[in-house]
Amino acid sequence: MAQNVGCTAMAKQTLSAKHRRFKELARQHGTPLMLISRSVLRAQIDRFRRALPRVEPFYAIKANSHPEVLKAMVAAQASYDVASVAEMDQVFAAGAKAEQIIFANTVKPAESIAIAAKKGVSLMTFDSEHELDKIAEHAPGARVLVRIKVPNVGSIVELSLKFGVDPADATSFLIKAYKMGLQPAGVSFHVGSQCTRLENFIEACEIAAIIARDARLKQLPFEIVDIGGGFPIRHFDYEDDPFDRIAALLRGELDRLFDKHIRVIAEPGRFMVGPAATLVMSVIGKAIRENKHWYYLDDGVYGSLSGQVFDHCKYQFKYLRSGHTQLSTLAGPTCDSFDIIARGEDVPELQIGDLVYVENIGAYSTASATTFNGMPMAKVLMVP
């Protein structure tokens, strides 16, 4: 019993220390403030590699392309999934090499393909004959992966609505790529963002394995399976963390379905950077509306909480102040009534200047933030 009491006291002390740290950093740097932990970034990379040792991570930089995040990925010897020349230049600036990059946008401007080829980036995805034509013309000899459509059932964002060829046509596309002087390297797919349904991964891998066998029968140089992203993270303390369970089963399926000589890569973004960041905001206004407290924060859905709009994400809001709580509304700082962050939140009575924070917000937050109404974006601060 004494041991349990001691553990509880230690937890309270740790939480208090975290809150004191937030207050001090907010005092020094102001708010809104996005704190990104280097140690958590490294821990997520290590966790991914331990759970899926056969899978090479190509960090999807669209999740968060802050230069310090990219430098941390370079230090960890990760590779990169980029969707544009601008993203390509960012990873080169961080110290990446051309062979560490996959140009994984299936609809690329012709000039971007040519620039990528000049920079030595030769691994690209496609999902149409028109894209093959552009790649063959502007990056002759490039290695290409055909992106296939796979089930996205239950994923927060369904990506097969916009991308992917019918799996039955995949081998025909690879043959055509070969005839056009390209190197058909394999297939890619994406099971949907924030995917907690293991069956999506298993079904997609089984489809890819059928294509791999068919390609080998036709003497095609099939060498890569890109299993995409979609690896989930927790946003609420009470949620289950399904990654280890998914990874354990996926690890077995990859070994069962694919020969050892087939290279398996993935494009994790959210999983790598999501848990590494905490957003700290200040209360800048309050009111009583609709018989509820309204608290106005200095960041909102046009800023770091843009993931609520573009990523269909929900966040857990936490407070440094405790006490009796009331169902309240949180709103952002802009002059647009769309900028309402959350209704019906259980919130202790806050005062102007109080801090509100959100954890696990490193992905698709600052990446899609704007300066609408001239509101400044959150300052990014790297912490240990």
| Catalytic positions, written as ranges | 335
For residues 146 and 177, is the Cβ–Cβ distance under 8 A? yes
What φ, ψ does residue 50 adopt, rounded to 5°?
A: -65, -40
Nearest to 373 by CA among 302, 319, 317: 302
Nearest to 88 by CA among 72, 105, 106, 75: 105
DSSP 270: H
Structure tokens at 332: 């952002």
For residues 380 and 34, is the Cβ–Cβ distance under 8 A? yes
Structure tokens at 16: 């208090």
What amino acid is encoded at 17 in this protein?
A
For strands 355-359 and 277-289, give the pairing.
antiparallel
What amino acid is encoded at 23 in this protein?
K
Angle at 155 between CA 151 and CA 157, to 5 degrees: 100
What amino acid is encoded at 355 in this protein?
L
For residues 178 and 184, is the Cβ–Cβ distance under 8 A? yes
What φ, ψ does residue 335 adopt, rounded to 5°?
A: -90, 30
Return the number of other C-beta atoms located less than 10 Å from residue 201's C-beta: 24
Q: Give CA torsion, residues 13, 16, 17, 18, to 10 deg.
A: 130
For residues 271 and 229, is the Cβ–Cβ distance under 8 A? yes
What is the C-alpha separation between 146 and 140, in angstroms, rounded? 16
ω into 32 cis (within 30 of 0): yes
Q: Which residue has the tokens 């927060």?
A: 156
Q: Give CA torsion, residues 325, 283, 293, 319, to 10 deg.
A: -10
H or E element in which residue 287 lies: strand 277-289
